[in-house]
């Protein structure tokens, strides 16, 4: 029978009072039965975590998303199983993978796609996580309340437990990406979550252009930032701007890895999706990748094929890179107050600030 540790400390008194030695308890014991240990003690129940390794594999499920919602879910679950068979400990799915990218048009009936968290998608993926003993980052169109919907990502642990929830903070509104019609901006902030493999943070698509988001989750200790994504070309723009657009997308995220000394993992969908048959649609450019703390792309997927992309994370690299590139040491946290303002206005006379 597995043993867990129960730490005891007085329920009141100075915070400096030391913890008592741990007592081993068997897994089936409930917290209620532990009340007999004394009314004057506070109980902290610490579940054992899997031993953390310096190196572990992560997987990105690059997939096409069709009109059959259940088929998309089955494909995602199959991808989780395949990734686990290849040794991955954390698996990330693309943004809004359960359906075609519906934000290409404004249609109130599409709010019917949203679901609760926990709900059908997260429950099914929690079972897959538990079966394969992996962490799953599960993007979902979240129905929080009537008229309040979020573009979210649930972090599911290897026991199927919901470890954390992130709600997309930056919401775009561009031709073919009418997300402000559907999504309420997130209100949970930017956070990292503990997993058996290490501390990670999910951000979502449009968040990838904002260095503040990456910095905040890195400050909370994230060793890997995951970006579930749905991004592509408008076909009419691809020839003229396509290479530049995708290169900028890749470059800015490699920059987050470099400036924060972390791994960045980005998963995208592939294929052409149209809101209506007569529309030009969006050609999603795939190109999922993993970058290390020096911005080196250590794994890269194709632009047009479904793939399970495997990348290795080496936590010792974080220490080594940050020692040699001590950006964190030299941060002027006393001088960044302007970042909390929308704009730093120029002098009223129109001249330049000195």
Under the phi-then-psi rule, with left for phi > 0, alpha for psi from -120 to 50, and beta for the rest, what region is 158? alpha
The enclosing H or E element of 350 equals none
Residues facing residue 310 across a β-bridge: 59
In the numeric block, which tokens belong to residue 259?
């400036």
**Enzyme catalytic residues:** 95, 168, 205
Residues 6+ apart with CB under 8 A from 276: 105
Under the phi-then-psi rule, with left for phi > 0, alpha for psi from -120 to 50, and beta for the rest, what region is 198? left
Distance (Å, rounded) from C-alpha 63 to C-alpha 97?
Answer: 8
Is residue 3 helix, strand or coil?
A: strand
The enclosing H or E element of 284 equals strand 282-285
Query: HSE of 126 in the Cβ direction (CA atoms, 13 Å)?
Result: 18
């Amino acid at each position: 029978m597995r043993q867990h540790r129960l730490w005891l400390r007085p329920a009141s008194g100075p915070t400096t009072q030391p913890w008592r030695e741990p007592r081993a308890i068997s897994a089936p014991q409930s917290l209620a039965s532990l009340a007999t240990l004394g009314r004057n003690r506070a109980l902290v129940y610490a579940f054992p975590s899997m031993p953390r390794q310096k190196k572990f594999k992560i997987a990105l499920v690059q997939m096409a998303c069709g009109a059959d919602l259940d088929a998309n879910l089955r494909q995602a679950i199959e991808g989780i199983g395949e990734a686990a068979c290849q040794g991955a400990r954390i698996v990330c799915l693309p943004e809004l993978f359960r359906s075609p990218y519906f934000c290409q048009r404004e249609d109130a009936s599409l709010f019917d796609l949203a679901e609760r968290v926990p709900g059908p998608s997260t429950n099914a993926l929690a079972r897959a996580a538990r079966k394969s003993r992996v962490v799953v980052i599960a993007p979902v169109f979240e129905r929080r309340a009537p008229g309040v919907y979020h573009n979210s990502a649930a972090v599911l642990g290897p026991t199927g437990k919901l470890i954390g929830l992130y709600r997309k903070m930056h919401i775009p509104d561009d031709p073919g990406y009418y997300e402000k019609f559907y999504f309420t901006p997130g209100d949970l902030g930017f956070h990292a979550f503990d997993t058996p493999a290490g501390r990670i943070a999910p951000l979502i698509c449009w968040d990838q252009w904002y260095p503040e988001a990456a910095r905040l989750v890195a400050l909370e200790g994230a060793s890997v930032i995951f970006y579930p994504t749905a991004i592509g070309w408008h076909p009419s723009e691809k020839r003229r701007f396509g290479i530049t657009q995708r290169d900028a997308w890749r470059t800015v995220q490699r920059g987050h890895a470099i400036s924060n000394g972390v791994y960045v993992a980005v998963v995208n969908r592939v294929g052409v999706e149209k809101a209506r048959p007569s529309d030009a649609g969006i050609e999603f450019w795939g190109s999922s990748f993993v970058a290390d703390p020096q911005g080196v792309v250590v794994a890269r997927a194709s632009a047009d094929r479904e793939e399970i992309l495997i990348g290795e994370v080496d936590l010792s690299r974080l220490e080594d890179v940050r020692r040699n590139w001590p950006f964190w040491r030299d941060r002027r946290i006393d001088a960044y107050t302007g970042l909390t303002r929308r704009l730093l206005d120029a002098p009223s006379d129109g001249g330049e600030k000195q």
